[in-house]
Structure 1
Amino acid sequence: MKWFVPGRLEVLGKHTDYVGGRSLLAAVDRGITIELTDSDEPGVVASSTAVEGEQKLTPGVDPQLPKGHWANYVQAVVDRLHLNFGDLLPARIVIDSDLPLASGMSSSSALVVAVSLALIDQNGFRKREEWKANVHDDIDLAGYMATMENGLTFGTLEGLRGVGTFGGSEDHTAMLCCHPGQLTEFTFCPIVEGDSVDLPEDLSFVVAVSGVLAEKTGDALEHYNSLSLNARELAELWNDATGSEHATVADALSSDEDALEGLRAVAAHDERLTKRLNAFITESEVAIPRAVEALRAGDLEAFGKAADLSHRNADEVLGNQIPETNALQALARELGATASAGFGAGFGGSVWALVPTAEAEEFGDRWLAAYLAEYPQWEDTASIVVTRPGGPARRL
């Protein structure tokens, strides 16, 4: 059997999902393809066309691979499905991808989703009572697959160590629930699908891969996880101060018209928490609503300003941009892009620019050349991808 799972484009929504906020998302028209065949060997044997060799993975057995290795994501899926549903049938998996690695289009989550879908189908887990009790639709499925990475429990499906990231379900939701030709707004914790807006056919996204790998390891992993932990701490402080039991900052904000003022007071003693709160408010409550309203109205200038605000907020307040991604965003606007912003986990990765489809390839060439004139050290790893919103994950 074969499954295709697209990468995702986070148009806006930097570190908002696990806080219960908004994201504006698209599935892209490239991704990961998984081919699964039954095997006579016990366990799951996985190989990738991008690298030589293969990995034999056994539930509950640490493969002793470096952090960030692609097979660790496969292992996390194998371990979690085994914990929740019991023994897995032996399988051989071949992984192919046309997503740039560590580019911000979430090749790692696409791998998790693809392996999960293939193994779930092979083993008939959708027919099991414990599946039916917890996973009712693709929204639930996205939430469950997110917990394979962050290690949390989903309903009655017990959690297990994930892959070391404390992220949310934005990536998995985009891959399973977005629509061809459209950008879709979601809110999270729980996942709720909002409005979708058409992206005019005469516009495309040009993605510039900076060449700086957005690896979730080392200092980058620590900084990435600190953004999640700071958000949790804010919610806990609010609950302590008010006697409430809100799970996220977004829950707290929606509980009372004076909640924002109260949250600012709770965070006032700590600059770190104040910045985290401000970053969330600007992205989820200001930039994204403005962007969606602008797209509905066909006001591309206003959409560009909302994207500028999002990128500036990520750099100056959230603190997850680097000189290369800032340069790419500024260059895109200087070269005439309708809108541009960095996206993904940050600390490397990519920047998108919205441009006329007919000019996309030529724009990408000029954009990359201008970038490499400033950062020639990334000539071997920087690249350009032209894409439009594609369909969700599907069995081939």
Structure 2
Amino acid sequence: MSAQLVQLSLTDASFPPLVADAYRSLLRDAHQALDEAEVPTSDRRAWIVPGRIEVLGKHVDYAGGRSLLCTVERAIVIVARVRNDPNVVLRDARRREAISLSLDSPTRGAVPWAIYPRTVVNRLVRNFGNAVGGADFALASNLPAAAGVSSSSALTVGLTLAFTALFNLSAHPLFQQALFDRPALAGYVGAIENGLDYGVLGGEKGVGTMGGAQDQTAILCSERGRLEVFSWAPVTFERSVAWPESHTFVVGVSGVVAAKTGAAKERYNRAARTAHRLVDAWNATGVPRVQMLRDAFLAAGDMRVPGEIPPALVAAAEAAADHEFSAAHLIGRLEQFYDEAFVIVPQATDALARNDLAEFGRLVDKSQAGAERALENQIAETVHLHRYARELGATAASAFGAGFGGAVWAMVPTADAERFASRWRDRYLRVHHSASHRSLFFTTSPSPPAFEVLDG
């Protein structure tokens, strides 16, 4: 995946007609928002930045595991133009909200989502200085917010792409040194969100979550009609597998907000802190010291052949137990990470490659069970959505994203997708009536990565 940023026309992107029409509508809305603000029409540029499905790879990216990913046919559309002053003005065309940030001293915005553009602006200014200038942005989205499909990371990716293009940041020596291809750029945008250094590009306060770069990588590096396997820390492409043309994703958004800000942030970060505690536990045993949970597994035993968790790692976990992290919780997290990263993702990808969909479904069920048992991030709504999907005949189904709400994907034959979605929704809402005003069920196939729209 080269350093060149993706540029496509809507025609060349080969979206289904209804998807292309939806994106044209979003583009019109974003342009209209700039028109109403009397932003000149000349030199505007536009991007389509999709959400993603974490097919497999639950809470493994910040711990160095591996994931199976794709994007969805829903997105944030961004239209932008350079300003002649050091201000960044963002307008949400559909919410009719706006924020303004100064490059000299970005301040707290009045709307909840202001933390994401403020974080991007702060980090880009720190890393690239006065190469970054002011700009007008208009956003329009058909991605459900706080629903597990990574709308927040789509925003940070989109803004980073837009600033990069508007101010030719890719020609900056530090950019060329550190961000030499799309996976590296994805790792950097992940570091923008979590606030960590990225090579020579120093860190800046992030959004407060301890995530990795999974979402950003899916958004930047996916390919139409395929699922991608990446491993983490650093972002590393491993393999790609075709999505069966006979099947479609149906996504069921639970209606329970899966935010990663405010009080929800601590629950999200607990899963990451558990992984960090396990690394500390291993390092307390002596040498070799490691930085990632993946490396603790590799240091503690031979992982080339799937088998039991190395006993030395289990013993280290037991020794590190305290009132916050019990031994059972720590060992459960070891088991979940081991299964997800070393067993489920590789074997499920192999199953798809040989079109063994029954085996694929069995492995996905194992992943879901691990999340329910060990991650402690599943709620009744997502557990039920998974169960109902399988009972209604889905080939495979799983919750995805940070958890504590969000969405579940189901793999179903394309010919039955709309009927399945209706039945799935009806069954879910019979039990979870209060979710009716926020739940959403939609079909999608693996989509292209984020790209600049040449005819936008």
Which interval holds the TM-score relative to the shorter structure?
A: over 0.9
State the Cα deviation string for residues 342-396 of structure 1 (Å, max 9, x = none): 0000000000000011111111011000000000111111110100001111111
1:299 shift after superposition: 0.9
Counterpart in 2 of 1:371?
428
TM-score, with normalisation over the residues of structure 2? 0.84
Letter in 2 for 1:380: H
Counterpart in 1 of 2:415?
358
Separation in structure 1 between the aligned mates of residue 260 and residue 126 of structure 2, nearest angstrom: 25
Counterpart in 1 of 2:338?
281
Matches within 5 A, 1:229-378: 229-257=273-301, 260-269=310-319, 270=321, 271=327, 272-378=329-435
Counterpart in 2 of 1:84?
127
1:64 shift after superposition: 4.6
Q: State which drifts further: 83-92 or 363-372.
A: 83-92
Tell me, yes or no, if the aligned pair for 1:25 and 1:185 is still in contact at 8 Å. yes
Say which SS state the counterpart of residue 280 (structure 2) adopts. Answer: helix
Tell me, yes or no, if the aligned pair for 1:208 and 1:382 is still in contact at 8 Å. yes
Counterpart in 2 of 1:124?
168
State the Cα deviation string for residues 37-60 of structure 1 (Å, max 9, x = none): 122443100011231231001234
Is 1:158 the equivalent of 2:202?
A: yes
Say which SS state the counterpart of residue 310 (structure 2) adopts. Answer: helix
Separation in structure 2 between the aligned mates of residue 140 and residue 220 of structure 1, nearest angstrom: 29
Tell me, yes or no, if the aligned pair for 2:300 and 2:313 is still in contact at 8 Å. no
Tell me, yes or no, if the aligned pair for 1:46 and 1:71 is still in contact at 8 Å. no
Is 1:38 the equivalent of 2:82?
A: yes
Separation in structure 1 between the aligned mates of residue 123 and residue 423 of structure 2, nearest angstrom: 45
State the Cα deviation string for residues 179-204 of structure 1 (Å, max 9, x = none): 11011111101111111111111100
State the Cα deviation string for residues 103-137 of structure 1 (Å, max 9, x = none): 11100000000001001111111111111111110
Say which SS state the counterpart of residue 265 (structure 1) adopts. Answer: helix
State the Cα deviation string for residues 58-94 of structure 1 (Å, max 9, x = none): 234332546xx22210111000000111132221000
Say which SS state the counterpart of residue 86 (structure 1) adopts. Answer: helix
Separation in structure 2 between the aligned mates of residue 299 and residue 36 of structure 1, nearest angstrom: 45
Instruction: Give the alignment partner of residue 61 of structure 1, picking from 106, 109, 118.
Output: 106
State the Cα deviation string for residues 197-222 of structure 1 (Å, max 9, x = none): 11111100000000001011344211
Separation in structure 2 between the aligned mates of residue 12 and residue 182 of structure 1, nearest angstrom: 14
Say which SS state the counterpart of residue 285 (structure 2) adopts. Answer: helix
Tell me, yes or no, if the aligned pair for 2:85 and 2:133 is still in contact at 8 Å. no
Counterpart in 1 of 2:443?
386
Tell me, yes or no, if the aligned pair for 2:99 and 2:110 is still in contact at 8 Å. no
Say which SS state the counterpart of residue 18 (structure 1) adopts. Answer: helix
Separation in structure 1 between the aligned mates of residue 263 and residue 362 of structure 2, nearest angstrom: 31
Separation in structure 1 between the aligned mates of residue 60 and residue 126 of structure 2, nearest angstrom: 29
4+ residue segments displaced more than 6 Å:
none
Counterpart in 2 of 1:5?
49
1:254 shift after superposition: 2.1
Letter in 1 for 2:108: P
Structure number with greater Rg is 2
Unaligned runs of 5+ residues in structure 1 are none
Aligned-residue CA RMSD (Å): 1.4
Q: State which drifts further: 377-386 or 218-227.
A: 218-227
